Protein backbone atom coordinates (compact mmCIF):
# COMPACT_ATOMS: atom_id res chain seq x y z
CA UNK A 1 0.00 0.00 0.00
CA UNK A 2 2.75 2.42 1.07
CA UNK A 3 4.71 1.46 -2.03
CA UNK A 4 1.69 2.22 -4.27
CA UNK A 5 1.24 5.66 -2.71
CA UNK A 6 4.89 6.52 -3.24
CA UNK A 7 4.71 5.34 -6.85
CA UNK A 8 1.67 7.50 -7.36
CA UNK A 9 3.44 10.44 -5.76
CA UNK A 10 6.43 9.87 -8.00
CA UNK A 11 4.12 9.99 -11.02
CA UNK A 12 2.40 13.19 -9.81
CA UNK A 13 5.74 14.88 -9.06
CA UNK A 14 7.16 13.94 -12.44
CA UNK A 15 4.17 15.57 -14.15
CA UNK A 16 4.26 18.63 -11.87
CA UNK A 17 7.96 19.18 -12.45
CA UNK A 18 7.45 18.85 -16.18
CA UNK A 19 9.80 15.88 -16.40
CA UNK A 20 9.18 12.89 -18.65
CA UNK A 21 7.48 9.65 -17.70
CA UNK A 22 9.61 6.71 -18.89
CA UNK A 23 8.60 3.10 -19.66
CA UNK A 24 9.95 1.80 -16.33
CA UNK A 25 7.80 4.26 -14.32
CA UNK A 26 4.55 3.35 -12.64
CA UNK A 27 1.59 5.13 -14.26
CA UNK A 28 -2.13 5.14 -13.44
CA UNK A 29 -4.10 2.75 -15.64
CA UNK A 30 -6.01 5.70 -17.15
CA UNK A 31 -2.75 7.35 -18.22
CA UNK A 32 -1.54 4.12 -19.85
CA UNK A 33 -4.86 3.63 -21.67
CA UNK A 34 -5.01 7.24 -22.88
CA UNK A 35 -1.42 7.16 -24.08
CA UNK A 36 -1.91 3.86 -25.93
CA UNK A 37 -5.14 5.18 -27.47
CA UNK A 38 -3.53 8.39 -28.72
CA UNK A 39 -0.28 6.80 -29.90
CA UNK A 40 -2.12 3.94 -31.64
CA UNK A 41 -4.52 6.34 -33.35
CA UNK A 42 -1.56 8.42 -34.44
CA UNK A 43 0.36 5.36 -35.73
CA UNK A 44 -2.70 4.09 -37.62
CA UNK A 45 -3.11 7.56 -39.17
CA UNK A 46 0.43 7.49 -40.51
CA UNK A 47 -0.07 4.01 -41.99
CA UNK A 48 -3.53 4.65 -43.47
CA UNK A 49 -2.27 8.12 -44.46
CA UNK A 50 0.09 6.48 -46.99
CA UNK A 51 -2.89 5.51 -49.16
CA UNK A 52 -4.29 8.85 -50.40
CA UNK A 53 -0.93 10.04 -51.73
CA UNK A 54 0.24 6.53 -52.63
CA UNK A 55 -2.60 6.67 -55.15
CA UNK A 56 -0.49 9.13 -57.23
CA UNK A 57 2.95 7.52 -57.13
CA UNK A 58 2.51 5.71 -60.44
CA UNK A 59 1.03 8.82 -62.05
CA UNK A 60 3.37 11.55 -60.78
CA UNK A 61 4.03 13.99 -63.65
CA UNK A 62 7.85 13.76 -63.57
CA UNK A 63 10.66 11.60 -62.22
CA UNK A 64 11.48 14.35 -59.68
CA UNK A 65 7.91 14.52 -58.37
CA UNK A 66 7.77 10.74 -58.20
CA UNK A 67 11.02 10.52 -56.19
CA UNK A 68 9.79 13.17 -53.74
CA UNK A 69 6.42 11.50 -53.32
CA UNK A 70 7.96 8.07 -52.80
CA UNK A 71 10.25 9.49 -50.11
CA UNK A 72 7.34 11.20 -48.36
CA UNK A 73 5.15 8.09 -48.32
CA UNK A 74 8.09 6.03 -47.04
CA UNK A 75 8.61 8.59 -44.25
CA UNK A 76 4.97 8.04 -43.22
CA UNK A 77 5.60 4.29 -42.94
CA UNK A 78 8.61 5.11 -40.75
CA UNK A 79 6.53 7.39 -38.51
CA UNK A 80 3.95 4.64 -38.09
CA UNK A 81 6.68 2.20 -37.04
CA UNK A 82 8.25 4.58 -34.48
CA UNK A 83 4.84 5.15 -33.03
CA UNK A 84 3.94 1.46 -32.79
CA UNK A 85 7.29 1.01 -30.99
CA UNK A 86 6.41 3.84 -28.58
CA UNK A 87 3.07 2.12 -27.89
CA UNK A 88 4.91 -1.16 -27.27
CA UNK A 89 6.84 0.49 -24.39
CA UNK A 90 3.46 0.81 -22.64
CA UNK A 91 2.74 -2.88 -23.05
CA UNK A 92 0.67 -2.66 -26.25
CA UNK A 93 1.19 -5.46 -28.74
CA UNK A 94 1.65 -4.30 -32.33
CA UNK A 95 -0.21 -7.28 -33.84
CA UNK A 96 -3.11 -6.54 -31.53
CA UNK A 97 -3.13 -2.84 -32.53
CA UNK A 98 -3.18 -3.81 -36.21
CA UNK A 99 -6.10 -6.18 -35.53
CA UNK A 100 -7.97 -3.39 -33.79
CA UNK A 101 -7.37 -1.06 -36.74
CA UNK A 102 -8.58 -3.48 -39.40
CA UNK A 103 -11.57 -4.50 -37.27
CA UNK A 104 -12.63 -0.89 -36.74
CA UNK A 105 -12.01 -0.97 -32.97
CA UNK A 106 -9.43 1.83 -33.05
CA UNK A 107 -9.61 5.08 -34.95
CA UNK A 108 -7.30 6.83 -37.38
CA UNK A 109 -7.51 10.46 -38.47
CA UNK A 110 -10.73 11.42 -40.25
CA UNK A 111 -8.72 13.28 -42.92
CA UNK A 112 -7.56 10.10 -44.63
CA UNK A 113 -11.11 9.12 -45.55
CA UNK A 114 -11.24 11.69 -48.35
CA UNK A 115 -10.21 10.85 -51.93
CA UNK A 116 -7.25 12.29 -53.88
CA UNK A 117 -8.85 13.25 -57.19
CA UNK A 118 -6.08 15.23 -58.91
CA UNK A 119 -2.31 15.67 -58.55
CA UNK A 120 -2.96 19.04 -56.89
CA UNK A 121 -4.26 17.00 -53.93
CA UNK A 122 -0.69 15.80 -53.32
CA UNK A 123 0.40 19.42 -52.91
CA UNK A 124 -2.59 20.37 -50.79
CA UNK A 125 -2.10 17.36 -48.49
CA UNK A 126 1.52 18.45 -47.98
CA UNK A 127 0.57 22.06 -47.34
CA UNK A 128 -2.61 21.74 -45.29
CA UNK A 129 -2.68 18.19 -43.90
CA UNK A 130 1.01 18.09 -42.96
CA UNK A 131 0.68 21.74 -41.89
CA UNK A 132 -2.14 20.82 -39.50
CA UNK A 133 -0.18 17.77 -38.33
CA UNK A 134 2.85 19.96 -37.50
CA UNK A 135 0.70 22.51 -35.69
CA UNK A 136 -0.78 19.71 -33.58
CA UNK A 137 2.46 17.77 -33.09
CA UNK A 138 5.12 20.40 -32.31
CA UNK A 139 3.62 20.89 -28.82
CA UNK A 140 3.56 17.08 -28.46
CA UNK A 141 7.39 17.16 -28.49
CA UNK A 142 6.82 18.27 -24.86
CA UNK A 143 4.24 15.57 -24.15
CA UNK A 144 4.75 13.96 -20.74
CA UNK A 145 5.44 10.46 -22.08
CA UNK A 146 9.16 10.36 -23.01
CA UNK A 147 9.16 7.82 -25.87
CA UNK A 148 6.23 9.60 -27.56
CA UNK A 149 7.70 13.09 -27.07
CA UNK A 150 11.06 11.98 -28.51
CA UNK A 151 9.43 10.26 -31.50
CA UNK A 152 7.61 13.54 -32.17
CA UNK A 153 10.86 15.48 -32.57
CA UNK A 154 12.02 13.47 -35.55
CA UNK A 155 8.52 13.13 -36.95
CA UNK A 156 8.01 16.91 -36.86
CA UNK A 157 11.30 17.51 -38.70
CA UNK A 158 10.18 15.17 -41.47
CA UNK A 159 6.67 16.64 -41.55
CA UNK A 160 8.23 20.08 -42.08
CA UNK A 161 9.94 18.77 -45.21
CA UNK A 162 6.58 17.29 -46.29
CA UNK A 163 4.84 20.59 -45.78
CA UNK A 164 7.42 22.49 -47.80
CA UNK A 165 7.34 20.02 -50.67
CA UNK A 166 3.56 20.42 -50.83
CA UNK A 167 3.75 24.20 -50.82
CA UNK A 168 6.53 24.21 -53.44
CA UNK A 169 4.48 21.86 -55.65
CA UNK A 170 1.49 24.21 -55.40
CA UNK A 171 3.66 27.28 -56.09
CA UNK A 172 4.87 25.57 -59.27
CA UNK A 173 1.32 24.75 -60.35
CA UNK A 174 0.17 28.32 -59.59
CA UNK A 175 2.86 29.60 -61.99
CA UNK A 176 1.53 27.26 -64.69
CA UNK A 177 -1.64 27.38 -66.79
CA UNK A 178 -5.14 28.61 -65.83
CA UNK A 179 -6.21 24.98 -65.71
CA UNK A 180 -3.47 24.17 -63.18
CA UNK A 181 -4.45 27.15 -61.01
CA UNK A 182 -8.08 26.01 -61.10
CA UNK A 183 -6.97 22.52 -60.12
CA UNK A 184 -5.15 23.90 -57.07
CA UNK A 185 -8.11 26.04 -55.98
CA UNK A 186 -10.51 23.12 -56.42
CA UNK A 187 -8.29 20.89 -54.28
CA UNK A 188 -8.01 23.60 -51.58
CA UNK A 189 -11.80 23.88 -51.56
CA UNK A 190 -12.15 20.15 -50.85
CA UNK A 191 -9.42 19.85 -48.19
CA UNK A 192 -9.85 23.03 -46.14
CA UNK A 193 -12.72 21.98 -43.89
CA UNK A 194 -11.55 18.38 -43.36
CA UNK A 195 -8.13 19.82 -42.36
CA UNK A 196 -9.80 21.87 -39.61
CA UNK A 197 -11.49 18.68 -38.39
CA UNK A 198 -8.09 17.05 -37.83
CA UNK A 199 -7.77 18.96 -34.54
CA UNK A 200 -10.69 17.03 -33.07
CA UNK A 201 -14.11 18.10 -31.79
CA UNK A 202 -14.65 21.54 -30.23
CA UNK A 203 -13.34 21.77 -26.66
CA UNK A 204 -16.85 21.66 -25.22
CA UNK A 205 -17.41 18.25 -26.91
CA UNK A 206 -13.95 16.80 -26.32
CA UNK A 207 -14.23 14.14 -23.59
CA UNK A 208 -10.46 13.57 -23.31
CA UNK A 209 -8.93 17.06 -23.38
CA UNK A 210 -9.25 18.06 -19.70
CA UNK A 211 -7.58 14.91 -18.35
CA UNK A 212 -4.96 14.81 -21.11
CA UNK A 213 -4.05 18.45 -20.37
CA UNK A 214 -3.82 17.70 -16.64
CA UNK A 215 -1.45 14.82 -17.40
CA UNK A 216 0.44 17.08 -19.88
CA UNK A 217 -0.11 14.53 -22.63
CA UNK A 218 -1.74 17.35 -24.61
CA UNK A 219 -0.32 20.87 -24.21
CA UNK A 220 -3.10 22.84 -25.91
CA UNK A 221 -6.79 22.26 -26.49
CA UNK A 222 -8.26 21.28 -29.85
CA UNK A 223 -9.76 24.75 -30.42
CA UNK A 224 -6.52 26.56 -29.54
CA UNK A 225 -4.57 24.56 -32.11
CA UNK A 226 -7.29 24.90 -34.75
CA UNK A 227 -7.16 28.69 -34.33
CA UNK A 228 -3.36 28.66 -34.56
CA UNK A 229 -3.61 26.68 -37.82
CA UNK A 230 -6.14 29.08 -39.34
CA UNK A 231 -3.98 32.07 -38.38
CA UNK A 232 -0.86 30.60 -39.97
CA UNK A 233 -2.62 29.32 -43.11
CA UNK A 234 -4.34 32.54 -44.24
CA UNK A 235 -1.13 34.46 -45.14
CA UNK A 236 0.22 31.31 -46.82
CA UNK A 237 -2.94 31.12 -48.97
CA UNK A 238 -2.55 34.80 -49.89
CA UNK A 239 1.08 34.26 -50.93
CA UNK A 240 0.00 31.28 -53.02
CA UNK A 241 -2.92 33.12 -54.62
CA UNK A 242 -5.76 30.87 -53.45
CA UNK A 243 -8.74 31.45 -51.17
CA UNK A 244 -10.36 29.28 -48.52
CA UNK A 245 -14.03 28.31 -49.03
CA UNK A 246 -15.24 30.24 -45.99
CA UNK A 247 -17.12 33.55 -46.38
CA UNK A 248 -16.82 34.19 -42.63
CA UNK A 249 -13.03 34.05 -42.61
CA UNK A 250 -11.80 37.51 -41.63
CA UNK A 251 -9.22 39.20 -39.42
CA UNK A 252 -10.54 40.20 -36.01
CA UNK A 253 -8.27 42.96 -34.73
CA UNK A 254 -9.83 42.89 -31.26
CA UNK A 255 -9.03 39.19 -30.84
CA UNK A 256 -5.79 39.30 -32.78
CA UNK A 257 -6.94 36.20 -34.68
CA UNK A 258 -8.90 35.28 -37.79
CA UNK A 259 -12.57 34.54 -37.22
CA UNK A 260 -13.80 31.58 -39.22
CA UNK A 261 -17.11 29.90 -40.04
CA UNK A 262 -18.72 26.89 -38.35
CA UNK A 263 -17.16 23.50 -39.02
CA UNK A 264 -19.71 20.88 -40.11
CA UNK A 265 -19.41 18.60 -37.07
CA UNK A 266 -22.13 16.29 -38.42
CA UNK A 267 -19.85 15.49 -41.33
CA UNK A 268 -16.99 14.81 -38.87
CA UNK A 269 -19.13 12.46 -36.76
CA UNK A 270 -20.33 10.68 -39.85
CA UNK A 271 -16.76 10.09 -41.06
CA UNK A 272 -15.83 8.78 -37.58
CA UNK A 273 -18.75 6.36 -37.76
CA UNK A 274 -17.22 4.89 -40.91
CA UNK A 275 -19.40 6.67 -43.46
CA UNK A 276 -16.82 8.95 -45.10
CA UNK A 277 -16.19 8.66 -48.84
CA UNK A 278 -13.21 6.28 -48.47
CA UNK A 279 -13.49 4.59 -45.03
CA UNK A 280 -14.40 1.18 -46.43
CA UNK A 281 -11.73 1.17 -49.14
CA UNK A 282 -8.99 2.39 -46.77
CA UNK A 283 -9.64 -0.44 -44.31
CA UNK A 284 -10.11 -3.04 -47.06
CA UNK A 285 -6.77 -2.03 -48.56
CA UNK A 286 -5.01 -2.18 -45.19
CA UNK A 287 -6.55 -5.57 -44.44
CA UNK A 288 -5.45 -6.95 -47.83
CA UNK A 289 -1.88 -5.66 -47.31
CA UNK A 290 -1.82 -7.26 -43.85
CA UNK A 291 -3.06 -10.61 -45.15
CA UNK A 292 -0.70 -10.54 -48.14
CA UNK A 293 2.18 -9.90 -45.74
CA UNK A 294 1.45 -12.93 -43.52
CA UNK A 295 4.18 -15.02 -45.19
CA UNK A 296 6.80 -12.34 -44.43
CA UNK A 297 5.91 -12.34 -40.73
CA UNK A 298 5.92 -16.15 -40.63
CA UNK A 299 9.31 -16.27 -42.39
CA UNK A 300 10.75 -13.68 -39.96
CA UNK A 301 9.60 -15.72 -36.96
CA UNK A 302 10.97 -18.97 -38.47
CA UNK A 303 14.30 -17.24 -39.15
CA UNK A 304 14.52 -15.86 -35.60
CA UNK A 305 13.74 -19.30 -34.14
CA UNK A 306 16.40 -20.94 -36.34
CA UNK A 307 18.98 -18.36 -35.25
CA UNK A 308 18.10 -18.90 -31.59
CA UNK A 309 18.49 -22.70 -31.94
CA UNK A 310 21.97 -22.20 -33.41
The gap from C-alpha 71 to its chain's centroid, in whole angstroms, comes to 17
Choices 25-33, 123-131, 226-234, 284-292 (CB under 6 A): range interacting with ligand FAQ: 123-131
Burial of residue 291, with CB atoms counted within 10 A of its CB: 0-12 exposed, 13-18 middle, 19 or more buried: exposed
* 55 near ligand FAQ (CB under 6 A): no
Distance in Å, CB of 197 to ligand FAQ, minimum: 5
Instruction: Enumerate the β-bridge partners of residue 163.
Output: none
Task: Report the residue from 14, 98, 110, 116 that binds ligand FAQ according to the rule CB under 6 A.
Answer: 110
Asked if residue 37 binds ligand FAQ (CB under 6 A), the reply is: yes
List 45, 98, 116, 279, residue binding ligand FAQ (CB under 6 A): 45
Q: Is 195 in the site for ligand FAQ (CB under 6 A)?
A: no
CA angle 148–154–159, rounded 5-degree value: 110
H or E element in which residue 250 lies? strand 250-252
Q: How many residues bind ligand FAQ (CB under 6 A)?
A: 30
Q: Is 14 in the site for ligand FAQ (CB under 6 A)?
A: no
Pair 39, 83: CB distance under 8 Å = yes
Strand partners, 257: 252
Tell whether residue 227 is a contact of ligand FAQ (CB under 6 A). Answer: no
- 184-200 b/e with 16+ CB inside 10 Å = b? bbbbbebbbbbbbbbbb
DSSP-based three-state secondary structure for 310: coil
* Binding residue for ligand FAQ, selected from 144, 165, 212, 233, defined by CB under 6 A: 212
Minimum distance from CB of 171 to ligand FAQ (Å)?
A: 19
Toward ligand FAQ, which CB reaches closer, 209 or 233?
A: 209
Binds ligand FAQ by CB under 6 A, chosen from 206, 236, 243, 270: 206
- Work out how close the CB of 97 gets to ligand FAQ at its nearest, in angstroms, rounded to a whole number: 13
Site for ligand FAQ contains 125 (CB under 6 A): yes
Kindly provide the b/e burial profile for residues 149-174, where b requires at least 16 CB atoms within 10 angstroms of the residue's own CB.
Answer: bebbeebbebbeebbebbbebbeebb
129 near ligand FAQ, judged by CB under 6 A: yes
Helices and strands per DSSP (H, E), number in the chain: 14, 2
- In the complex, which residue's CB is closest to ligand FAQ? 49
CA dist., res. 164 & res. 187, Å (int): 17
C-alpha 261/C-alpha 253 separation (Å) is 17
The answer to whether 286 and 219 are in contact (CB under 8 A) is no
The single residue among 14, 98, 116, 136 that binds ligand FAQ, judged by CB under 6 A, is 136
Q: Which of 117, 247, 295 minimizes the C-alpha distance to 190?
A: 117
Task: Pick one of 51, 165, 195, 209: the residue that binds ligand FAQ (CB under 6 A).
Answer: 209
Q: Is 144 in the site for ligand FAQ (CB under 6 A)?
A: no
Based on its alpha-carbon atoms, the radius of gyration of the chain, rounded to whole angstroms, reads: 21
Contact with ligand FAQ (CB under 6 A) among 20, 234, 272, 287: 272
121 binds ligand FAQ (CB under 6 A): no
* Least distance between ligand FAQ and beta carbon 190 (Å): 15
What secondary structure letter does DSSP report for 129? Answer: I
Piece in contact with ligand FAQ (CB under 6 A), picked from 18-26, 168-176, 181-189, 191-199: 191-199
Binding site for ligand FAQ (CB under 6 A): 37-38, 41-42, 45-46, 49, 76, 107, 109-110, 125, 129-130, 133, 136-137, 197-201, 206-209, 212, 218, 222, 272
Amino acid sequence: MTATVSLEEHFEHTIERDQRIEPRDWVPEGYRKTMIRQIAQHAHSEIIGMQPEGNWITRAPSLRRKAILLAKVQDEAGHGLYLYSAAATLGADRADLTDKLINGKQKYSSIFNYPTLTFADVGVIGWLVDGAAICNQVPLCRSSYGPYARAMIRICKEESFHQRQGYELLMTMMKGTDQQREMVQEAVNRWWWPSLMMFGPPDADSPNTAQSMAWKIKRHTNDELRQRFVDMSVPQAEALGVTFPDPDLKWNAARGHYDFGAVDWDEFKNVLKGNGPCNASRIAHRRRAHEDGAWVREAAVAHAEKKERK
